Amino acid sequence: MSAEQKHEALPALEEAERAFVEAEVDAVLAGYRGRLPAAELAWMREQLVGQLEDDRNFAELARAAYPREVDQSGEIARTRRG
């Protein structure tokens, strides 16, 4: 699957979210590298991404799972009550 085809597979996601999902799929398949031929791994990846493409609810789940930037300062805002 070409890079362009990979990006077309998940049209409802933003670029960063799409890259996150593709990295997660690749991480899942990492355990099979060296155990299965490259053609079978490519087929598995195509099937996984294809399933995600067909499930419109998946975009919502991917957006929820995508790590957002957070304040790393360690400061906690406190408000005074009373």
40 part of a folded domain: yes
Distance (Å, whole) CA 2 – CA 75: 44
Confidence at residue 34, expressed as pLDDT on a 0 to 100 scale: 93
38 part of a folded domain: yes
Distance (Å, whole) CA 74 – CA 32: 39
- Tracing tokens 């790590």 back to the chain, one arrives at 67
The token pair at 73 is 């300062």
Please tell me whether the overall predicted TM-score, pTM, comes out greater than 0.75 for this model. no
80 part of a folded domain: no
74 part of a folded domain: no
pLDDT in tens, the chain (82 residues): 455 555 555 556 777 777 888 888 899 999 999 999 999 999 999 888 777 766 777 777 777 777 766 666 666 666 776 5
Specify the number of domains making up the chain.
1
31 touches 80 (CB < 8 A)? no
